[in-house]
Amino acid sequence: MTPAKAPLSTYRVQFNKDFRFLDCRDIVPYLHALGIGALYSSPRFRARRGSEHGYDVASPLRVNSELGTDEEFDDLCMKLHHYGLGLILDIVPNHMAASHENPWWIDVLENGPSSPYAHYFDIDWNPVISKSAVLQEGKIVLPVLGDLYGNVLDRGEISLGIDETGFFLRYYERKLPLDPATWGPLLTAWIERIQRDAKKKREPKAAIERIRRLVQAIPPRTSTNPEEVSRRLRDAFTAQKQAFLLFRDHFDARMAIEAVLREFSEDKLQMHALLEAQGYRLAFWKIAYEEINYRRFFDINDLVCIRVEEEDVFAARHQIILELLAEGKVTGLRVDHVDGLFDPETYLNRLQTAAGQATGESPVYLVVEKILGRDEQLPPDWPTSGTTGYDFLSAVNDLLIDNAGLRDLETVYAEFTGEIETFADVCYERNKQVIWQLFTAEAHALGHHLGQLAAEDWLARDVPMSELLAALVEITACLPIYRTYIRNDQVGQHDRAYIQRAMAMARKRTTDAEIGDPAFEFLHRVLLLEPPSDDPQQREEYLRFIMHWQQFSGPVMAKGLEDTAGYVHNSLISRNEVGSDPLRNHPPLDIPGFHRYMEQRVQLRPYSMNSTSTHDTKRSEDVRARLHVLSEIPGEWQKHLLRWRRLNQRFHAPVKGLRVPAPEEEVLLYQTLLGSWPLDPAEEEGFTYRVIDFLLKAAR
């Protein structure tokens, strides 16, 4: 597949408030002189205020004003075109910001299932978790509080306000809407406050009465009847407008409602009753791991996933992107976090078709952010030019490591730390850790779904739910890749092999007393789409479960491998990079192996990006290159490692009964210093604070 306008080389820029469209426009001649074929840009759409990266998109229909105006973006595009450079735009189809700056999200919080955007977001309106089911039936859990709900309420940290959107809640910097159908107590108190002062005119009271009658007749937010939904949205908008105008234009009314809002904010019983009436539940941020009922980007509560597999959601999310392609301002796309999508192949086909219709050229240059295992390839039917290059990065990393010396480094590390586990063992353990610590709610939801499927299978109906969930967790933790891509009733050869391998490893890592064979046998039938009967509906249910599980396994591997195991097993930290092999059951590539890898790459995806560093990599190329040298001098490394331990013995301190830093953290510190020590002595003072910040983040 030869894409239109495939660039020979790209140069990535990260837009933010300190590097805007016009700043980038000024460096275009320099990029041209470098021989760059296309600018590779971070997202340009409106993000949360102050965002440094732009991946927390709040509106896909507006340009990010902190980066510049539409006209300034056009100026950049004209300059690029003048110098013959293309523009590859990073797009984020999987998630959006869960904030008051996102009008779609705020509409859902206000109107619940009645919102026209309710199906845009991946929300479980009827969660199965026992405690929260009582609290949040038909509600969204918002884990945004810094303390237990009762403590926050007692301290009066939640207040009320009014603006052009009507009445709202304020919790520090967060602003949340109030369902107009729940305004009754506020409006009643407003009327009573007006009546208390005989000097007040009657006009405000009559106006408030009209608003109260209007909101009393608003249909419930649980209604999905088109006529009732339309009436709800219309009357809610009218009530919001009338309340604000009365507040803005009438002094007596404004004084009265400000007093009412203060009283409600200070009365925890009234405030609690008002909060209970909303379509969301304010909650302590720590309960998100167990009780959250919307799909997040990884474990980030402020990033809510969208259902871009729905055609109208796809159209709304990509409207401006397609316009930019049609106008020739954008010449290619980079798709962020493709593994988070429900059906990546369908999405990519839809995107290529829409882009081709917009540009008259097919296919457009399209690359995906995808981390591949050591021997994994992109699904051959994906209409994409390739990946953003993590796989190439991993291959180059391997090429610069001495295999024999690496084995010696592993021995040195084991002797120094007392840890004899392989990296694959550590990855497995950390995958399980993040499932239970970060993704408990998602795991239990999948387990409940699995239990429903088991109830319909006479061979599995008596298998305990605890064993079904435990088996699912084990298989997920043992998966050697981020996810499989089963999307219909045909399980591909590679997907089947990965699942069977994970199941075999899971069985080896557990005992019959922990998980019986019937649980694994049932999972085998489900994950390989082999129901006991030929019932099409049962196969469809199995497939639906698999596709949700596939969305779950990717974040587990990302957090377990990249963000946990990669900071725990530190024999050579330059290998602990995004895109690295999670199993490491093969030695690094030698020179002939690298050439074979590149020959295959040219044959399969010749237009794939070849990156040695990205905005997501843990360490820069020069840091990794310095550290690779340790594999050539393992004896020197061991000698200095032991010497530094002796010298620094007196700086160790006990923290909660643990020796800090632990041996593996001490190795991490020394290798970090070796890899990044400044060449310019003038930079050494600031370097200390950078290392402290890094170690704190790494320890977390």
Residues 6+ apart with CB under 8 A from 369: 334, 335, 336, 337, 338, 387, 388, 390
Pull the structure tokens for residue 63.
Answer: 């340009």
CB atoms within 10 A of CB 226: 8
Report residue 662: phi and psi, to 5°: -65, 160
Orientation of helix 663-676 relative to helix 621-628, angle to 10° = 110
Cα–Cα dist 261/148, whole Å: 23
Cα–Cα dist 252/481, whole Å: 65
Orientation of helix 226-249 relative to helix 103-111, angle to 10° = 100
Residue 131: its pLDDT value, please? 67
Cα–Cα dist 342/485, whole Å: 9
Residue 534: its pLDDT value, please? 82
Whether the Cβ atoms of residue 372 and residue 378 lie closer than 8 Å to each other: yes
Report helix, strand or coil for 14: coil
Alpha helices in 250-310 (DSSP H): 251-266, 268-276, 288-291
Residue 200: its pLDDT value, please? 55
Cα–Cα dist 272/276, whole Å: 6
Residue 129: its pLDDT value, please? 67
For the chain, residues with pLDDT lower than 70 are: 1, 129-134, 197-201
Whether the Cβ atoms of residue 35 and residue 417 lie closer than 8 Å to each other: no
Cα–Cα dist 428/258, whole Å: 56
Orientation of helix 684-699 relative to helix 663-676, angle to 10° = 140
**How do residues 320-356 score in pLDDT, each as one tens digit?**
999 999 999 999 999 999 999 999 999 999 999 999 9
Residue 137: its pLDDT value, please? 80
Residue 343: its pLDDT value, please? 98
Pull the structure tokens for residue 533.
Answer: 């009967």
Q: Nearest-CA neighbor of 591 among 404, 390, 402?
A: 402
Report residue 116: phi and psi, to 5°: -65, -10
Cα-based distances in Å from 73 to 81, 89, 91, 403: 12, 12, 16, 48
Task: Provide the CA 346 distance to its chain's centre, in angstroms.
Answer: 20
Residue 698: its pLDDT value, please? 93
Q: Which residues pair with 282 in a beta bridge?
A: 142
CB atoms within 10 A of CB 571: 24
Cα–Cα dist 364/353, whole Å: 9
The counts of H helices and E strands in the chain are 27, 18
Residues 6+ apart with CB under 8 A from 375: none
Q: Is the peptide bond before 363 cis (omega within 30 degrees of 0)?
A: yes
Residue 132: its pLDDT value, please? 62
Alpha helices in 278-420 (DSSP H): 288-291, 311-326, 344-359, 390-399, 403-417
CB atoms within 10 A of CB 464: 14
Report residue 334: phi and psi, to 5°: -115, 120
Residue 130: its pLDDT value, please? 59
The mean predicted confidence, pLDDT, of the chain is 95
Alpha helices in 456-579 (DSSP H): 465-478, 493-508, 517-527, 536-557
Query: How does DSSP classify residue 232?
Result: H
Whether the Cβ atoms of residue 390 and residue 372 lie closer than 8 Å to each other: yes
Cα–Cα dist 198/189, whole Å: 16
Locus of tokens 């890898």: 597
Residue 4: its pLDDT value, please? 81
Locus of tokens 């795991």: 443
**How do residues 152-211 score in pLDDT, each as one tens digit?**
999 999 999 999 999 999 999 999 999 999 999 999 999 999 888 655 567 789 999 999
- Could you tell me the pTM of the whole model? 0.95
Q: Which residues pair with 305 in a beta bridge?
A: 95
Query: How many C-alpha atoms does 116 have within 13 Å on its Cβ side?
Result: 11
Query: How does DSSP classify residue 659?
Result: E
Whether the Cβ atoms of residue 303 and residue 188 lie closer than 8 Å to each other: no
CB atoms within 10 A of CB 339: 21
Residue 135: its pLDDT value, please? 74
